[in-house]
Chain A
Amino acid sequence: MLERIPSIRKAPDEEYYVPGHRTCAGCGPALAYRLTAKAAGPNTIFIGPTGCMYVANTSYGCGPWRVPWIHAQITNGGAVASGIEAAFKVLARKKKYQGEIPHVIVFAGDGGAVDIGLQALSGMLYRGHDVLFICYDNESYANTGIQTSPTTPYGAWTTFTPAGPAVPEGKKLFPKDNPKVVAHGHPELKYLATASIGWPVDLMNKVRKGLNAEGPAYLHIQAPCPKGWQFPPNKTIEMAKLAVQTGMFQLYEYENGEYKLSVKMEERKPVAEYLKLQKRFAHLQPEHIEKLQAFVDARCAEVGITVPAVASAR
């Protein structure tokens, strides 16, 4: 069993995601990877479906992981992980493997988890494999130059959803809520949570809970992307915090049909305070921001965040 990490100071020193990767300066997903690897420890196997965290980390012919890592196609992270987990089980049963069964973690982007990779994720959860599937959500196909994905927020500019006279808000669709998709259709699921790189101790503990669960677990991590969201690379943590403080992203664990909130909030900030710091939302008009605020209010109410959005006094 992996123990709970009480604070930043008590977090383990050891790094299993080491310096030397071609991720952006200020990369949110890279920090998510580092914290996940730190929490999981040395007896871990990572599966890396195609995405930034495959391509940027492995250019060229090398990688920053101290633990085993294998590439999967963007479609099949869940399937590759299922095979690895099942193989260890069989080898252990036949006494051909006697060590401790390693933690098996899929580290997929929103493309590899919510969109192209959804069927393999769902199959893995349905069959009950003892795997932690992590989605690092940077809200676009960032690796190929920022195309829209199902988790791209309403109103965001991407190269596939440019704002213009015909479609002034950029992206017109509201995002797919993958924790919800996962939660309600998979009876074997043992643990489900969302996390943010703005709350690193909470994130690491959710990784550990997911790994301690005997069966499939799903962790959805919001990880801001300075390239795709168009903000300066030193603001990555601020964006992560604002996402939660505005309710754009909600931090919770989902247990026995109930949302258990991870962060206490006295009030919410209006989404406008989050949007104005990212150039991907620079084109939005007041009516679009209103529409997004209403969407966020409704989703917050659904998970039990009842505090209202209040503009900060200036």
Chain B
Amino acid sequence: MLKIVQLTKTYREKRTPALKDLSLEIPRGQIVGLFGENGAGKTTLMKCILGFHGYVGSITLDGNPISRDNIAKISFATSEHSFFPNLTATAHKEFYAAHFPNFKSKRYEGLMSFFDLPHHKPLKHFSMGQQNQFEVILALCQGADYVLMDEPFAGNDVFNREDFYKVLLGILESNETVILSTHLIEEVSEFIGRAILIHGGELIADVTSDELDETGVTLIDFIKQKYSYRHDRAGRAIRDITGEGDE
């Protein structure tokens, strides 16, 4: 269980906190979508979980604070990429296997083969899409219980992403949790079991897909409701800009 209690993070250069009093419990075996506008605090939340940022509050993994003893239970795939551009895929595999004792070699080979990625080419020569795929492959093969993904598919085409979601559902074991931060809400709505919404650093909604199914509301409509999205916003803006419709 990943437990976050009253997490507050304020960046030195900013007055308002990036995360305010955020509490969450994420048990194993879930695929969680983390949604929010740009600057909502999604990336900050992930970086706090990983210990990259200092914070107020507590974050525990199976009852223990996150430290060098249990950090290998969390992996991270980011659109910024965390691989070494000069290394080949095979060299990455060796590096991960040397540092993460539960590295899943069989899963790695399977995913590399599925996405048809080159083994002996430095990552800097991969296309952006291939780099994203490899970043996610590493996160999924580290042998972590919690896989954090921060906009991992930025730059991948829709078919590519669709394939990945399907593979993800197929390969995940019952004890593995994926926390996926993305703006591609409609696309991932079929694949996630729970949606967490953050707005201005605060948790504004936490709902399971079963709860949404019961109410008959789609995920995108639920999110729009929570964000008080005004449907006529774009139309009014166009009218304001063009002056059409003014009497």
A and B from one assembly? no
B contact set with A: CB distance below 8 Å? none
